[in-house]
Amino acid sequence: MATKTLHDLFVNDLRDIYSAEHQLTRALPKLASAATNSELKQGFQQHLEETRAQVDRLDRVFETLEIASRGQTCAAMEGLLAEVPQLIELGLEPGALDAALIAAAQKVEHYEIAAYGTLCTWAKAMNHDRVLTLLLEILAEEKAADEKLTQLAKTTINTVALQRARPA
């Protein structure tokens, strides 16, 4: 077997995140339907649209690199998403359930931010400028999605959860 390079590792990780994004296009509708707060529901639906566009950007990344556009199962995303039904089955009251969904979604966004941050560093190091531009666009959306979830948690959901947690 030929010795693998940083470029091979770059392709490997692009295929991993491509799988992760595909998994998210299937999971985000479930998060949206489980959410009770309407802003949170809309937030998940909006990020679903962004995620579909991210898959298209990754297709352009593979085209630019002249390699096959395919995924390689991201086990980490499978693990993070496997926790979602477990949270739903806890039988939490609405405010607490929304808090749980936000927490799960932020773990996903943080995984993506770490993955795209690394991919951007490698793309820059190897002068893949067009690819870097596409990856930076995705990274900015992941950071904005994470920030929006933090704001939702702070302004509405945590308040509701705390009020109901107080003894009557």
Q: d(Cα 117, Cα 123) in Å, to the nearest integer? A: 10
Query: Where on the phi/psi map is residue 74: left (φ > 0), alpha (ψ -120 to 50), or beta?
Result: beta
The interface region with Fe ion, picked from 81-89, 96-104, 105-113, 149-157 by CB under 5 A, is 105-113
Q: Is 98 in the site for Fe ion (CB under 5 A)?
A: no
Q: Is 126 in the site for Zn ion (CB under 5 A)?
A: yes
DSSP class of residue 157 equals: I
Output the CA torsion sign for 162, 31, 119, 61: negative
Two tokens at 143? Answer: 């950071």
Which one, 70 or 130, has the nearer CB to Zn ion?
130
The listed partner (Fe ion, Zn ion, none) that binds 55, CB under 5 to 8 Å by sort, is: none
Provide, rounded to whole angstroms, the least separation between the CB of residue 126 and Zn ion. Answer: 4
DSSP class of residue 4 equals: P
* Structural Rg of the chain based on CA atoms: 18
Two tokens at 86? Answer: 């477990």
Q: Which of residues 128-167 bind Fe ion (CB under 5 A)?
A: 142, 145
Which one, 46 or 92, has the nearer CB to Fe ion?
46
Two tokens at 116? Answer: 């795209």
The interface region with Fe ion, picked from 1-9, 61-69, 73-81, 123-131 by CB under 5 A, is 73-81
The interface region with Zn ion, picked from 35-43, 79-87, 119-127, 139-147 by CB under 5 A, is 119-127
Q: d(Cα 105, Cα 58) in Å, to the nearest integer? A: 21
Binding mask 2-21 for Zn ion (x = CB under 5 A): -----x--------------
Which positions lie near Fe ion, rule CB under 5 A?
Answer: 16, 51, 54, 74, 76, 112, 142, 145
